[in-house]
Amino acid sequence: MTSPDPQSPGPEPTKPSGPATPQYQDRIYRSPAGLVGGVLLLAIIGWLGLDAVIAGEGRTPWFALATMLLLVPLVVAYTLRPAVYVNDDRLRVRNPFRVIVLPWGEVASLRSAFSNEVVDASGTKYQLWALPVSLRARGKAARHEARAAAAAARAENGERAGRGGGRGRIPGAPPEAPKKAEGDRAMAEMRELHEQRQGVGTAQGEVTVRWAYEIAGPAVAGAVLLVVLLAVG
Protein backbone atom coordinates (compact mmCIF):
# COMPACT_ATOMS: atom_id res chain seq x y z
CA MET A 1 0.00 0.00 0.00
CA THR A 2 1.37 3.28 -1.04
CA SER A 3 0.91 6.46 0.85
CA PRO A 4 -0.55 9.42 -0.98
CA ASP A 5 1.88 12.01 -2.15
CA PRO A 6 1.88 15.11 -0.04
CA GLN A 7 -0.11 17.81 -1.75
CA SER A 8 1.69 21.04 -2.35
CA PRO A 9 0.00 24.07 -0.89
CA GLY A 10 -2.15 26.02 -3.30
CA PRO A 11 -0.65 29.05 -4.92
CA GLU A 12 -1.15 32.26 -3.06
CA PRO A 13 -3.64 34.58 -4.66
CA THR A 14 -1.89 37.18 -6.69
CA LYS A 15 -2.97 40.77 -7.11
CA PRO A 16 -4.23 41.69 -10.53
CA SER A 17 -1.64 43.42 -12.57
CA GLY A 18 -1.21 44.80 -16.03
CA PRO A 19 -3.66 46.86 -18.08
CA ALA A 20 -6.73 45.57 -16.25
CA THR A 21 -5.74 47.38 -13.08
CA PRO A 22 -6.14 51.18 -13.20
CA GLN A 23 -3.06 53.03 -12.06
CA TYR A 24 -5.14 55.63 -10.25
CA GLN A 25 -8.69 56.69 -9.59
CA ASP A 26 -10.38 59.33 -11.69
CA ARG A 27 -8.26 62.43 -12.05
CA ILE A 28 -10.51 65.49 -12.20
CA TYR A 29 -9.79 68.64 -14.19
CA ARG A 30 -11.89 71.74 -13.48
CA SER A 31 -11.63 75.49 -13.88
CA PRO A 32 -10.96 77.25 -10.54
CA ALA A 33 -11.96 80.59 -12.05
CA GLY A 34 -15.25 79.10 -13.23
CA LEU A 35 -16.00 77.69 -9.78
CA VAL A 36 -15.30 81.01 -8.05
CA GLY A 37 -17.31 82.96 -10.62
CA GLY A 38 -20.22 80.55 -10.36
CA VAL A 39 -20.40 80.77 -6.57
CA LEU A 40 -20.35 84.59 -6.73
CA LEU A 41 -23.08 84.69 -9.39
CA LEU A 42 -25.28 82.29 -7.43
CA ALA A 43 -24.83 84.42 -4.31
CA ILE A 44 -25.88 87.57 -6.19
CA ILE A 45 -28.87 85.88 -7.82
CA GLY A 46 -29.98 84.40 -4.50
CA TRP A 47 -29.62 87.70 -2.67
CA LEU A 48 -31.53 89.76 -5.25
CA GLY A 49 -34.09 87.05 -5.95
CA LEU A 50 -34.98 86.33 -2.34
CA ASP A 51 -35.20 90.03 -1.60
CA ALA A 52 -37.67 90.45 -4.48
CA VAL A 53 -39.70 87.43 -3.34
CA ILE A 54 -39.93 88.65 0.26
CA ALA A 55 -40.34 92.38 -0.26
CA GLY A 56 -41.90 92.46 -3.73
CA GLU A 57 -45.53 93.27 -4.45
CA GLY A 58 -47.96 92.10 -7.09
CA ARG A 59 -46.36 89.88 -9.70
CA THR A 60 -42.83 90.77 -8.63
CA PRO A 61 -42.34 87.67 -6.46
CA TRP A 62 -43.49 85.46 -9.34
CA PHE A 63 -41.16 87.20 -11.78
CA ALA A 64 -38.32 86.77 -9.30
CA LEU A 65 -39.04 83.06 -8.87
CA ALA A 66 -39.26 82.49 -12.62
CA THR A 67 -36.03 84.37 -13.22
CA MET A 68 -34.22 82.42 -10.50
CA LEU A 69 -35.58 79.14 -11.90
CA LEU A 70 -34.14 80.11 -15.28
CA LEU A 71 -30.80 81.59 -14.23
CA VAL A 72 -29.67 79.26 -11.44
CA PRO A 73 -29.50 76.09 -13.62
CA LEU A 74 -27.73 78.03 -16.39
CA VAL A 75 -25.12 79.41 -13.99
CA VAL A 76 -24.56 75.95 -12.51
CA ALA A 77 -24.32 74.43 -16.00
CA TYR A 78 -21.69 76.83 -17.31
CA THR A 79 -19.59 77.39 -14.18
CA LEU A 80 -19.89 74.65 -11.54
CA ARG A 81 -20.83 71.64 -13.63
CA PRO A 82 -18.07 71.37 -16.30
CA ALA A 83 -15.41 68.80 -15.41
CA VAL A 84 -13.19 66.23 -17.11
CA TYR A 85 -12.69 62.85 -15.42
CA VAL A 86 -9.73 60.76 -16.57
CA ASN A 87 -8.57 57.26 -15.68
CA ASP A 88 -6.69 54.43 -17.39
CA ASP A 89 -9.67 53.24 -19.43
CA ARG A 90 -11.67 56.25 -20.49
CA LEU A 91 -12.21 59.98 -20.64
CA ARG A 92 -15.49 61.33 -19.23
CA VAL A 93 -16.39 64.86 -20.26
CA ARG A 94 -19.09 66.66 -18.28
CA ASN A 95 -20.17 69.67 -20.28
CA PRO A 96 -23.00 72.11 -19.44
CA PHE A 97 -25.78 69.98 -20.95
CA ARG A 98 -24.15 66.66 -21.86
CA VAL A 99 -21.96 63.93 -20.42
CA ILE A 100 -19.72 62.22 -22.97
CA VAL A 101 -17.83 59.01 -22.14
CA LEU A 102 -15.01 58.17 -24.55
CA PRO A 103 -12.89 55.01 -24.10
CA TRP A 104 -9.27 55.74 -24.98
CA GLY A 105 -9.51 53.38 -27.94
CA GLU A 106 -12.18 55.63 -29.48
CA VAL A 107 -10.24 58.87 -28.99
CA ALA A 108 -8.60 60.02 -32.22
CA SER A 109 -6.92 63.17 -30.91
CA LEU A 110 -6.92 65.89 -28.28
CA ARG A 111 -6.66 69.34 -29.84
CA SER A 112 -5.80 72.75 -28.45
CA ALA A 113 -6.38 75.93 -30.44
CA PHE A 114 -8.84 78.61 -29.42
CA SER A 115 -10.59 75.89 -27.39
CA ASN A 116 -9.62 72.49 -26.03
CA GLU A 117 -11.49 69.62 -27.63
CA VAL A 118 -11.43 65.86 -28.05
CA VAL A 119 -12.13 64.14 -31.37
CA ASP A 120 -13.44 60.58 -31.50
CA ALA A 121 -12.75 57.94 -34.14
CA SER A 122 -15.77 59.02 -36.23
CA GLY A 123 -14.53 62.62 -36.40
CA THR A 124 -17.05 64.07 -33.94
CA LYS A 125 -15.65 66.92 -31.85
CA TYR A 126 -16.51 67.54 -28.22
CA GLN A 127 -15.41 70.74 -26.53
CA LEU A 128 -13.84 70.51 -23.06
CA TRP A 129 -15.69 73.26 -21.20
CA ALA A 130 -13.80 72.52 -17.99
CA LEU A 131 -10.49 73.44 -19.67
CA PRO A 132 -10.92 76.87 -21.24
CA VAL A 133 -8.07 78.28 -23.27
CA SER A 134 -6.48 81.39 -21.76
CA LEU A 135 -4.38 83.30 -24.28
CA ARG A 136 -3.15 85.48 -21.43
CA ALA A 137 -1.93 82.42 -19.50
CA ARG A 138 -0.26 81.08 -22.64
CA GLY A 139 1.51 84.39 -23.20
CA LYS A 140 2.67 84.46 -19.58
CA ALA A 141 4.00 80.89 -19.85
CA ALA A 142 5.78 81.74 -23.11
CA ARG A 143 7.47 84.75 -21.51
CA HIS A 144 8.50 82.60 -18.54
CA GLU A 145 10.05 80.02 -20.87
CA ALA A 146 11.88 82.76 -22.79
CA ARG A 147 13.33 84.18 -19.56
CA ALA A 148 14.37 80.69 -18.40
CA ALA A 149 16.08 80.00 -21.75
CA ALA A 150 17.89 83.35 -21.59
CA ALA A 151 19.03 82.66 -18.01
CA ALA A 152 20.27 79.20 -19.00
CA ALA A 153 22.20 80.69 -21.92
CA ARG A 154 23.80 83.32 -19.67
CA ALA A 155 24.73 80.66 -17.11
CA GLU A 156 26.30 78.49 -19.79
CA ASN A 157 28.29 81.42 -21.13
CA GLY A 158 29.42 82.30 -17.59
CA GLU A 159 30.63 78.75 -16.98
CA ARG A 160 32.58 78.80 -20.22
CA ALA A 161 34.15 82.18 -19.45
CA GLY A 162 35.35 81.11 -16.03
CA ARG A 163 34.13 79.27 -13.01
CA GLY A 164 35.89 81.44 -10.44
CA GLY A 165 33.59 84.44 -9.93
CA GLY A 166 30.75 83.69 -12.27
CA ARG A 167 27.20 84.35 -11.17
CA GLY A 168 25.66 81.72 -13.36
CA ARG A 169 23.51 78.80 -12.42
CA ILE A 170 24.76 76.65 -9.57
CA PRO A 171 26.84 73.77 -10.97
CA GLY A 172 24.92 70.51 -10.89
CA ALA A 173 21.55 72.23 -10.41
CA PRO A 174 18.82 70.83 -12.69
CA PRO A 175 17.52 73.19 -15.38
CA GLU A 176 14.26 74.91 -14.62
CA ALA A 177 11.29 73.01 -16.02
CA PRO A 178 9.33 74.83 -18.74
CA LYS A 179 6.18 76.41 -17.44
CA LYS A 180 2.86 75.78 -19.19
CA ALA A 181 -0.61 77.20 -18.84
CA GLU A 182 -2.89 75.09 -16.65
CA GLY A 183 -5.11 73.98 -19.52
CA ASP A 184 -2.16 73.14 -21.77
CA ARG A 185 -0.56 71.10 -19.00
CA ALA A 186 -3.78 69.13 -18.49
CA MET A 187 -4.06 68.47 -22.23
CA ALA A 188 -0.44 67.28 -22.34
CA GLU A 189 -1.10 64.83 -19.51
CA MET A 190 -4.19 63.46 -21.26
CA ARG A 191 -2.34 63.10 -24.58
CA GLU A 192 0.38 61.11 -22.85
CA LEU A 193 -2.15 58.80 -21.19
CA HIS A 194 -4.01 58.41 -24.49
CA GLU A 195 -0.82 57.27 -26.24
CA GLN A 196 -0.16 54.72 -23.49
CA ARG A 197 -3.67 53.28 -23.21
CA GLN A 198 -5.39 53.54 -26.61
CA GLY A 199 -4.47 49.98 -27.61
CA VAL A 200 -5.27 48.28 -24.28
CA GLY A 201 -8.24 45.91 -24.23
CA THR A 202 -9.94 47.47 -21.21
CA ALA A 203 -9.82 50.89 -22.90
CA GLN A 204 -12.08 49.84 -25.79
CA GLY A 205 -15.81 50.35 -26.18
CA GLU A 206 -18.38 52.75 -27.58
CA VAL A 207 -18.75 56.47 -27.15
CA THR A 208 -21.85 57.33 -25.11
CA VAL A 209 -23.59 60.69 -24.81
CA ARG A 210 -26.17 61.51 -22.15
CA TRP A 211 -28.13 64.76 -22.00
CA ALA A 212 -28.37 66.54 -18.64
CA TYR A 213 -32.13 66.80 -18.29
CA GLU A 214 -31.72 67.70 -14.62
CA ILE A 215 -30.19 70.99 -15.81
CA ALA A 216 -32.23 71.64 -18.94
CA GLY A 217 -35.60 70.82 -17.32
CA PRO A 218 -35.63 73.54 -14.62
CA ALA A 219 -34.18 76.11 -17.04
CA VAL A 220 -36.90 75.40 -19.61
CA ALA A 221 -39.58 75.51 -16.90
CA GLY A 222 -38.30 78.89 -15.70
CA ALA A 223 -38.25 80.26 -19.25
CA VAL A 224 -41.81 79.06 -19.89
CA LEU A 225 -43.05 80.54 -16.62
CA LEU A 226 -41.34 83.85 -17.40
CA VAL A 227 -42.92 83.97 -20.87
CA VAL A 228 -46.37 83.24 -19.41
CA LEU A 229 -45.99 85.99 -16.80
CA LEU A 230 -44.90 88.48 -19.45
CA ALA A 231 -47.79 87.49 -21.71
CA VAL A 232 -50.50 87.85 -19.08
CA GLY A 233 -48.93 90.94 -17.49
Query: DSSP letter string over 112-127?
Result: ESSSEEEEETTS-EEE
- Angstrom distance (rounded) from CA 31 to CA 127: 14
Q: What value does the mean pLDDT take over residues 171-196?
A: 75
pLDDT value of residue 9 = 44
Residue 96 near residue 77, CB atoms below 8 Å: yes
Q: Residues 138, 143, 144, 146: what is their CA dihedral angle, to the nearest 10 degrees? A: 130
105-161 pLDDT, tens per residue? 999 999 988 889 999 999 999 999 999 886 554 555 455 455 655 666 666 666 555
Q: pLDDT per residue over 188-229, tens digit each?
A: 999 999 999 999 999 999 999 999 999 999 999 999 999 999
Instruction: Report helix angle 60-75 to 32-55, nearest 10.
Output: 170
Three-class secondary structure of residue 171 per DSSP: coil
Average pLDDT, the chain: 80
Please state which of the ranges 10-19, 76-85, 108-117, 127-136 shows the lowest mean pLDDT: 10-19
User: Has residue 174 got a pLDDT over 90?
Assistant: no
Residue 26's pLDDT band, with cuts at 50, 70 and 90, is: confident
pTM of the full structure: 0.71
Tens-place pLDDT, residues 93-112: 999 999 999 999 999 999 98
